[in-house]
Amino acid sequence: MKSQLSLRDGLLALAVVLVWGTNFVVIRLGLDVLPPLFFATLRFVFVLLPACLFLPRPKVSWANLAFYGLAIGVGQFGLLFIAMNGRISPGLASLVVQMQVFFTVALAMWRTGERIKPHQLAAFALALAGMGVIAVHNGPQNGHSTTILGLVLVLLAALSWALGNQAGREASANGSINMLAYVVWAALFAVPPLLALSLLLEGPAAIMAGLARATSLTWAAVLWQSVGNTMFGYACWAWLLARYPAATVAPVSLLVPVFGFGASAALLGEPMPPWKIMATLLIMAGLAVNLLWRPSKNEISGEAA
C-alpha cells in the first residue's frame, strides 16, 4: 500500500473536500425547508435510484453493505442534519465533524495495525492548531449559538463516518470493487430507517409541509447532496482509503472547515477576519507536510522490514 498520495490522487482528494466543504451551506439551505431526517431520506433515495438499476451489486457481503449504509446514512447524516437544525452553526459543524480523522486513524490502527509516522504527527499538530483557532473564535461569545446536544450529535456523526470509512476499506481489502456501486447499494440500508425515524419523530404533517414549501433551490440542494456529496465524494473517498493508509488520506478532510468558511463568506456574506485566515494557513501547512513529505531512506527501509 502506497504511503504518499500521487499528484492525481491528491487532486482528487482536494476535489472531494471542496465539495464537502461547500456542502454545509447547501445543507443549511435544505434544512430551511425540509425536516432534517426527511431531508437525509431524500438524499439517499436519489443515491439509490435510479443508479441501482444500472450498477450491479458489488461483490461484498450484505452485512458489510448494511453496516456502511447505516453508519453513513443514519449515523453520520441523520445525526448531522438533526444537529444542524438549530443546534449548531454550519461552520462549527464542519469543524467538529473532522474528529472523524482521529477516529478513522484509531480504527485503522486497531483493525489493521497501521502506524503513524513522525511527519504525520507533526501534520496533525499543525492542523489541530488551526482547528483550535477556529473553535476559540466560533463560540457563543462571538454570536454563534451552539448547544451541548449539538456538539454531541456531531461528534457521534464523526464516529459514524469513521466506522463507515473502515467498512469501506475492509470491503475492498479482498479485491478491487466498484466503489460507486458500493455507495449506491449501501443506500438501500440507509433509506428505510431514515424514513421510519422521520415518520416517527417528525411526523407526516411536517413532511408534507416541507414538500409543499420546497422550491427548485430546495431540490437542487437535495440533488447536490445525492450526486455531488455522496455519489462523487464518498465513492472517491472510499476508493482512496482502499489504496492508501488511513493516516495519509483522512487528514485531507481537515480542509473541509476551510472550504466551509470560505463558502459561507462567498455565498452567505460571512466575514473573513484575520483569525480565519490564520487558521486556514495552519491547516494548509499541516496538509502540506502530510501530503508532500517524502520518506527518507531509513524510513523506507524500516517500512520494508
pLDDT by residue (tens digit) across 146-161? 677 887 898 899 899 9
Instruction: Indicate the range of 58-62, 86-90, 211-215 predicted with least confidence.
Output: 86-90
Return the C-alpha cell found at 140: 457563543
Q: What is the mean pLDDT of residues 236-259?
A: 83
pLDDT, residue 45, reads 96
Block residue for cell numbers 440542494: 221
Instruction: Indicate the range of 2-6, 30-34, 205-209 predicted with least confidence.
Output: 2-6
Average pLDDT, the chain: 83
b (16+ CB within 10 A) / e for 286-303: bbebbbebeeeeeeeeee
Instruction: Indicate the range of 20-34, 96-110, 154-168 predicted with least confidence.
Output: 96-110
Domain ranges (residues) in the chain: 7-304
Any alpha helices (H) in 70-202, and if so which ranges?
79-84, 90-96, 100-112, 118-136, 148-171, 179-186, 191-201
pLDDT, residue 194, reads 96
pLDDT, residue 304, reads 44
pLDDT, residue 120, reads 74
Answer whether residue 142 shows pLDDT above 50. Answer: no
Q: How confident is the model at residue 300 (pLDDT cuts 50, 70, 90)?
A: very low
pLDDT cut 70: percent of the chain above it = 86
Q: What is the mean pLDDT of residues 178-195?
A: 95
pLDDT, residue 57, reads 93
Q: Which amino acid is at 199?
A: L
Of residues 255 and 140, more confidently modeled: 255
pLDDT, residue 28, reads 82
Instruction: Indicate the range of 6-20, 155-169, 278-292 predicted with least confidence.
Output: 278-292
pLDDT, residue 263, reads 78
How far is residue 134 from each of residues 67, 190, 264, measured CA to CA in Å?
33, 32, 14
Answer whether residue 35 shows pLDDT above 90. Answer: yes
Of residues 230 and 270, more confidently modeled: 230
Query: Using CA atoms in the order 53, 54, 55, 56, what is the torsion angle rounded to 10 degrees?
Result: 70
pLDDT, residue 279, reads 74
Collapsing DSSP to helix, strand or coil, 177 comes out as coil
Q: What is the mean pLDDT of residues 266-279?
A: 72
Instruction: Indicate the range of 18-27, 40-49, 203-212 predicted with least confidence.
Output: 18-27
Answer whether residue 121 shows pLDDT above 90. Answer: no
